[in-house]
Amino acid sequence: MPTVDDALEHAGEFHFFQKQMFVLLALLSAAFTPIYVGIVFLGFTPDHRCWSPGVAELSQRCDWSPAEELNYTVPGLGPTGEATHGQCWRYEVDWNQSTLGCVDPLAGLATNRSRLPLGPCGDGWVYDTPGSSIVTEFNLVCANSWLLDLFQSSVNVGFFIGSVGIGYIADRFGRKLCFLTTILINAASGVLMAVSPTYTWMLIFRLIQGLVSKASWLIGYILITEFVGPSYRRMVGIFYQVAFTVGLMVLAGVAYALPHWRWLQFTVSLPNFCFLLYYWCIPESPRWLISQNKNAKAMRILKHIAKKNGKSLPASLQSLRHEEEAGEKLNPSFLDLIRTPQIRKRTLILMYIWFTSSVVYQGLIMHMGLAGDNIYLDFFYSALVEFPAAIIIILTIDRIGRRYPWAAANMVAGAACLASVFIPDDLQWLKITVACLGRMGITMAFEMVCLVNAELYPTFIRNLGVLVCSSMCDIGGIITPFLVYRFTGIWLELPLVVFAAVGLVAGGLVLLLPETKGKALPETIEEAENIQRPRKNKEKMIYLQVKKADIASN
């Protein structure tokens, strides 16, 4: 009995209908960007200092310049040799007293400023920025700076829970229903976050966005790969991720135009409501309908696809079977991922590589927001280098193979992070070049693990293997904000040292995986265990058996 792939050979594997679907779903992929890495702009931390009552009045009376005001009133910005406490501590001085002079007003209180008592910023902070962020509005600095880490981690907690739970719902109740529901919840929670009155409400709505946004992105990925023929799936999968890169570049421009976080959040959330119009544009997946024994509906959709593509289905294709019906149905278990030695090794390596890819990719973006001179241009340029990553994958994956480009990408990312630590600040052009090279490497590594993961598992545990291994991506995303923001408090370049270490180790571990170029997907545990050996061709086996029979009869 024919399958959906057989029907798509007649209806068109990648013609007008599939191209139309790809454009629509690519817009969704681009719209996912602000949720995944929007923390760079939403959580931007500008230069800041304690607000002290009376300082502004004294500065006005004395006609100080901004530099003089900082020099006279902020700890750590005065005479050379004093500790830098300016962002989180202030002098315990009554700036309203009339005895303070205009030239070094603290000289009459102590001969050495370091002897003056310091206290925490009890009256808030002054931020040197024309715009606003969640940091400046909710004072997420100093003792409360960990709340910024929690904000970004909550998104990744939502990713982790949502991709598992909603993935099951999509398999149970259909791609389209789940797709539209997650879009609605994502759009509503994004807008509500933009008007949240408190940090707690903002955190709740961000968590809800995490629960549904990555799930809708994954369902979009599933839909476009299920609508096209098998020879185009890898290509559309790569370009679906390229659409995410386009979203990064657009986000940089929108953030530059809207420096206030509430307007930015509202602007990037509102277009998600437009995706609800896809109810009339995108049909249900015919593969899912067949898996649910809804053959008639699947055939109507396939005929619609054929009509859109200017083709027709032959009369013989009136009843289709699901691809998985042919073999024996097995119930996959987590133990199947660790029971045999080769699959166990691959599972552990892939889990680490998914974890590393997420940590280094998100970490480099967050670190750029802390260390960059122009956050908007740096973000734009670093997004631009993701395009060559996709091109290199397309050019090498079927020529050179998977393993060596994948390992090289991880090692380039790690080496670039390490090199950035030792490049002096006055060689800014070199620092930017190396940073872009590292970003291109980790982008290529991230996209490669998405493509290759499924090729290393046998059919009946393939989905489980991808789900378990890719879940480490979200675990990495949960700890990355704490790693970046806490480690930069110790030393600005310390996160880069960590990224270099984990990236170089990942590159070495990739070399322990088998090459899958030119090999058929393994169907059984035995074939997966022996994937490094040449797979016997069934036709050759049959031919040999026939020859043996002829010899025996003679």
Instruction: Summarize pLDDT for 446-461 with one digit per residue, the tens.
Output: 999 988 888 888 867 8
Residue 471 is predicted with a pLDDT of: 87
Residue 99 is predicted with a pLDDT of: 76
Other Cβ atoms within 10 Å of 197 Cβ, number: 7
Residue 20 is predicted with a pLDDT of: 95
Does residue 326 lie in a domain region?
no
Task: Find the range with the poorest average confidence among 4-8, 92-96, 233-237.
Answer: 4-8
Residue 322 is predicted with a pLDDT of: 55
Mean per-residue pLDDT, 216-224: 88
Residue 69 is predicted with a pLDDT of: 86
The Cα–Cα gap between 11 and 322 comes to: 17
For residues 125 and 141, is the Cβ–Cβ distance under 8 A? Answer: yes
The structural domain count of the chain equals 2
Residue 110 is predicted with a pLDDT of: 74
For 5, 183, 188, the CA distances from 268, given in Å and listed in that order, are 37, 13, 12
Residue 426 is predicted with a pLDDT of: 84
Task: Find the range with the poorest average confidence among 241-250, 383-392, 525-534.
Answer: 525-534
What mean pLDDT is reported for the chain?
86
More confident residue, 325 or 168: 168
Residue 542 is predicted with a pLDDT of: 40
Residue 523 is predicted with a pLDDT of: 72
Query: Does pLDDT of 108 surpass 80?
Result: no
Task: Find the range with the poorest average confidence among 117-121, 414-418, 549-553.
Answer: 549-553
Query: Does pLDDT of 2 surpass 90?
Result: no
| 425 shares a domain with 384 | yes
Task: Find the range with the poorest average confidence among 118-122, 315-319, 377-381, 471-475.
Answer: 315-319
Q: Which tokens is 77 given?
A: 């910005």
Does residue 353 lie in a domain region?
yes
pLDDT in tens, 275-290: 999 999 999 988 888 8
Query: Does pLDDT of 127 surpass 60?
Result: yes
Residue 437 is part of a domain; what is its CATH number? 1.20.1250.20
Please identify which residue in the block is written with the tokens 């982008």: 443
Residue 1 is predicted with a pLDDT of: 63
The Cα–Cα gap between 536 and 543 comes to: 12
Query: Does pLDDT of 389 surpass 80?
Result: yes
Does residue 540 lie in a domain region?
no
Residue 519 is predicted with a pLDDT of: 79
Residue 161: domain span: 1-26+142-311
Q: Which tokens is 438 given?
A: 């590292």
Q: pLDDT exceeding 70 applies to what percent of the chain? A: 90
Mean per-residue pLDDT, 518-536: 72
Residue 467 is predicted with a pLDDT of: 79
Query: Does pLDDT of 305 surpass 80?
Result: yes
Residue 293 is predicted with a pLDDT of: 82
Does residue 296 lie in a domain region?
yes
Mean per-residue pLDDT, 462-488: 88
| 347 shares a domain with 291 | no
The CB-side HSE value for 135 (13 A sphere, CA atoms) comes to 26
Element (H, E) at 127: strand 125-127
pLDDT in tens, 41-68: 999 999 888 998 988 888 888 889 888 8
Residue 85 is predicted with a pLDDT of: 57
| 350 shares a domain with 274 | no
Phi–psi pair at 89, nearest 5 degrees: -135, 155
Does residue 122 lie in a domain region?
no
Mean per-residue pLDDT, 308-320: 79
Mean per-residue pLDDT, 497-503: 95
Residue 291 is predicted with a pLDDT of: 77
| 361 shares a domain with 249 | no
For residues 61 and 45, is the Cβ–Cβ distance under 8 A? Answer: no
Residue 67 is predicted with a pLDDT of: 86
Query: Does pLDDT of 541 surpass 70?
Result: no
Does residue 357 lie in a domain region?
yes
Cα 224 to the chain's mean position, in Å? 19
| 428 shares a domain with 306 | no
Q: Which tokens is 210 given?
A: 């995490």
| 255 shares a domain with 296 | yes
- Which stretch, 154-163, 186-195, 225-234, has highest mean pLDDT? 186-195
| 256 shares a domain with 156 | yes
Residue 337 is predicted with a pLDDT of: 85
| 305 shares a domain with 352 | no
Residue 545 is predicted with a pLDDT of: 45
**Model pTM score:** 0.86
More confident residue, 433 or 408: 408
Query: Does pLDDT of 548 surpass 60?
Result: no
Residue 84 is predicted with a pLDDT of: 44
Residues in the chain: 554
| 377 shares a domain with 299 | no
User: What pLDDT band is residue 102 in, cutting at 50, 70 and 90?
Assistant: confident
Mean per-residue pLDDT, 367-374: 77
User: What pLDDT band is residue 431 in, cutting at 50, 70 and 90?
Assistant: confident
For residues 72 and 62, is the Cβ–Cβ distance under 8 A? Answer: no
Does residue 110 lie in a domain region?
no
The Cα–Cα gap between 183 and 87 comes to: 41
| 360 shares a domain with 291 | no
Does residue 120 lie in a domain region?
no
Cα 344 to the chain's mean position, in Å? 26
Mean per-residue pLDDT, 269-278: 96
User: What pLDDT band is residue 546 in, cutting at 50, 70 and 90?
Assistant: very low
| 509 shares a domain with 438 | yes
Q: pLDDT exceeding 90 applies to what percent of the chain? A: 46
User: What pLDDT band is residue 372 in, cutting at 50, 70 and 90?
Assistant: low
The DSSP code sequence of 511-553 is: TTSPP-TT-PPP-SHHHHHTTTSPPPPHHHHHHHHHHHHHHHH
For residues 173 and 289, is the Cβ–Cβ distance under 8 A? Answer: no
Residue 533 is predicted with a pLDDT of: 56
| 252 shares a domain with 150 | yes
Q: Which tokens is 150 given?
A: 């929690």
Residue 295 is predicted with a pLDDT of: 84
